[in-house]
């Protein structure tokens, strides 16, 4: 009796599910996989709003392929296993055609096997450590050669830095970035003892000893520069201690890779003026596209004080590239879109264009900004768009690797042995 009831119930539920699936025809669904609660909520909620704004604009323009776009928003709550669970739900239950989401590397690594298994499509909008190229992911943020390497070049050439302090929060992005930078600096003739590396836990607040160590580095007369991959809240304490120690940007410049307009709003910036950040976009960028984007953003959120930042620009580029690819392919099928998307060019907000490369990364200009008193950045350097390199050239193991999806159908191709190391990603 019990069993029969369950069977009947099951049949009924599946009938409903089937009916729901049949209704999907008139809209195109996309998934938004950003944490709306937990530690990452503050950063990721902004990106969710950005996607929703892009969807609204696209629908106002008449949608895509004659259909309206529907955004399915889920909340993985800054919980990494939950990212995988929600991604599976989005693809297999909701049937979305593309997912815009993730911020931290570990969340991307969590989602990756699911996306590859179910042949989904993920647009990942944050600068990251590289060493990855998945068939099913388009990396719209910066690879290390589009942020870290040019930033270090700038410090060496323009600021005359000879001695380096690489400070980072202890997780994979700073680790890998610093490993790459260390190899790069050594290739450029910097001695091992002129590179100081330190890792601190998330949310670290006791910076006095580390700042003292950094200041002591300059005792031998060399110009010291700090490359900071310190993440999130920990920056507050770091910059406060730096200011308290009386270290000005002229004495020891700090180049940050994870500090943008959003992070600065938690700080009194008067003591930070002149310190630097490297991104592919700053809100202060002077271009008509940017002015329009900021205006739309303020209108969409109904809040004139909301700042814009680099991952938002990456999200916007990713969305526009997807739209262009879908229109070119005439379908939202993953394989068709992936074929069409390589080579797509969409304008970015700094006056140039972003092209989707065969390794699923983008071309991006590198901007260096100096912190102003009002929490914005003065752009002091801007390069031409740099093609993103999935596998860095500065580590011997990955220098021989290459990613070329349309050409070689492989994201990890060993050019030395001329063979594909693996088609699926190693997570």
Partner 1 sequence: MRAFLLTILLLIAQPLWAQDLGAVLDANRDQIAKPSRQTIGPVITEIAAAGEGADRVLAAWADRRLGLAGDRFVIVEGDSATDAVTGESVTGDVDGLRPNSGVRGLIAAALVQFQLTDPDPVRRRAALTAIARQSDESHLAALREAPAESDPILAARRDRLERLLTIQYDTDTDARLAAIDSFDGDAGTDLQAVLNPLLATTRFAGPELPADANVARALTPDSENLPRAEAYRLLVDAGLAEPRPTDADIKAALTANIAGDAVGGVPVADLGDPDRRDDAYTALAEAGTVPTAATADEVDSALEANAFADLFTEPSSEITDAARASLRGMQTREGIMQALDLSLDALSLASIYFLAAIGLAITFGVMRVINMAHGEFIMMGAYTGYVTQTMIADRTLSLIVALPLAFAITFGAGVLLYQLVIRHLVKRPLETLLATFGVSIALQQLAKNIFGTQARPLTAPAWLEGSITFADGVSISTIRVAIFVLALLFLGLFLFLMNRTRLGLQVRAVTQNPGMAASMGINPDRIAMMTFGLGSGIAGIAGVAIGLFAKVTSELGSDYIVQSFMTVVVGGVGNIWGTLAGAALIGGLQKGIEVLNPSNTLAAQTYMILFIIIFIQFRPRGIMPQRGRMAEA
Partner 2 sequence: MFIRKDPSILVFLAILALFTIGATLMSEAYGSGALPTSMIKVLGKTLCLALAALAMDLVWGYAGILSLGHMAFFALGGYMIGMWLMYARTGEIVSATLSRAAIPPTPAELQDGIASQIFGVVGSSDLPLAWTFAGSLPIQLILIVAVPGLLALVFGWLAFRSRVNGVYLSILTQAMTLALALYLFQNDSGFRGNNGLSGLQNIPGLTDVPQADISIWFLWASAGALALAYVLAAWLVSGKFGSVIRAIRDDESRVRFLGYSVEGYKLTIFTLTAMLCAIAGALYYPQAGIINPAELAPIASIYLAVWVAIGGRGRLYGAVIGAVVVSLLSSWFTGGRAPDLSLGFYTIDWVDWWQVLLGLSFVLVTLFAPRGLSSLIDLAARLRHPSRRGRDLGPDVGALREREAKA
Residue ranges binding partner 1 (CB under 8 A):
38-39, 41-42, 157-160, 170, 196-201, 203-206, 208-210, 212-213, 216, 218-222, 232-233, 236-237, 240-241, 243-246, 249-251, 253, 262, 265-268, 271, 274, 368, 370, 378, 380-381
Instruction: Report d(CA 92, CA 371) in Å as an integer.
Output: 45
The least CB distance from residue 297 to partner 2, in Å, is 22
Q: Which of partner 2, partner 1, none has residue 21 at its interface (CB below 5 to 8 Å by kind)? A: none
Q: Which of partner 1, partner 2, none has residue 219 at its interface (CB below 5 to 8 Å by kind)? A: partner 1
| Residues contacting residue 17 through CB under 8 Å, at least 6 positions apart | none
Please state, in angstroms and as integers, the Cα–Cα distance from residue 145 to each residue in 38, 47, 260, 366, following that order.
31, 24, 19, 9
The least CB distance from residue 233 to partner 2, in Å, is 16
Q: Which of partner 1, partner 2, none has residue 300 at its interface (CB below 5 to 8 Å by kind)? A: none
Instruction: Report d(CA 377, CA 365) in Å as an integer.
Output: 16
The least CB distance from residue 352 to partner 2, in Å, is 31
Q: Which of partner 1, partner 2, none has residue 251 at its interface (CB below 5 to 8 Å by kind)? A: partner 1
Instruction: Report d(CA 410, CA 92) in Å as an integer.
Output: 25
Residue 45 burial by Cβ neighbours in a 10 Å radius (0-12, 13-18, 19+): middle
**Can you give the binding site for partner 2, defined by CB under 8 A?**
2-3, 6-7, 10-11, 13-14, 17, 36-37, 73-75, 77, 80-82, 84-86, 88-89, 92-93, 105-106, 109-110, 112-114, 117, 129, 131-132, 170-172, 175-176, 178-179, 199, 201, 397-398, 417, 419-422, 424, 426-427
The least CB distance from residue 388 to partner 2, in Å, is 17
Q: Which is nearer to partner 1, 66 or 396 (CB)?
A: 396
Q: Which of partner 1, partner 2, none has residue 44 at its interface (CB below 5 to 8 Å by kind)? A: none
Cβ neighbours, 10 Å, residue 296: 16
Q: Which of partner 1, partner 2, none has residue 415 at its interface (CB below 5 to 8 Å by kind)? A: none
Q: Which is nearer to partner 1, 67 or 222 (CB)?
A: 222
């Amino acid at each position: 009796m019990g069993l029969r009831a369950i069977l009947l119930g099951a049949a009924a539920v599946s009938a409903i599910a089937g009916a729901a699936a049949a209704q999907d025809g008139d809209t195109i669904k996309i998934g938004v996989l950003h944490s709306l609660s937990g530690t990452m909520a503050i950063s990721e909620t902004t990106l969710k709003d950005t996607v929703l704004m892009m969807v609204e604009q696209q629908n106002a323009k008449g949608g895509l392929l004659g259909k309206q776009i529907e955004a399915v928003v889920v909340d993985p709550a800054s919980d990494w296993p939950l990212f995988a669970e929600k991604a599976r739900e989005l693809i297999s239950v909701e049937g979305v055609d593309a997912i815009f989401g993730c911020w931290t590397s570990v969340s991307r690594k969590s989602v990756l096997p699911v996306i590859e298994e179910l042949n989904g499509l993920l647009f990942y909008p944050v600068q990251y450590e590289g060493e990855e190229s998945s068939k099913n992911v388009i990396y719209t943020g910066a690879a290390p050669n589009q942020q870290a390497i040019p930033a270090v070049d700038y410090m060496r050439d323009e600021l005359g830095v000879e001695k380096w302090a690489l400070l980072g929060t202890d997780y994979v992005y700073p680790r890998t970035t610093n490993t790459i930078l260390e190899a790069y600096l050594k290739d450029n003739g910097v001695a091992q003892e002129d590179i100081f590396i330190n890792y601190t836990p998330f949310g670290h607040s006791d910076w006095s000893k580390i700042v003292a160590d950094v200041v002591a580095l300059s005792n031998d007369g060399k110009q010291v520069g700090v490359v900071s991959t310190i993440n999130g809240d920990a920056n507050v304490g770091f910059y406060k201690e730096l200011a308290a120690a009386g270290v000005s940007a002229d004495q020891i410049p700090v180049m940050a890779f994870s500090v943008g307009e959003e992070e600065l709003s938690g700080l009194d910036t008067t003591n930070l003026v002149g310190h630097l950040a490297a991104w592919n976009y700053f809100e202060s960028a002077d271009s008509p596209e940017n002015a329009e984007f900021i205006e739309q953003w303020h209108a969409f959120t109904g809040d004139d004080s909301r700042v814009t930042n680099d991952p938002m620009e990456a999200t916007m580029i990713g969305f526009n590239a997807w739209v262009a690819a879908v229109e070119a392919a005439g379908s939202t099928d993953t394989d068709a879109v992936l074929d069409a998307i390589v080579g797509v060019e969409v304008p970015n907000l700094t006056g140039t264009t972003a092209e989707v490369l065969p390794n699923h990364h983008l071309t991006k200009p590198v901007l260096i900004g100096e912190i102003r008193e009002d929490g914005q950045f003065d752009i002091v350097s801007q390069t031409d768009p740099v093609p993103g390199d999935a596998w860095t050239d500065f580590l011997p193991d990955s220098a021989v690797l290459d990613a070329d999806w349309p050409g070689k159908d492989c994201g990890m191709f060993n050019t030395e042995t001329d063979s594909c190391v693996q088609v699926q990603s190693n997570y």
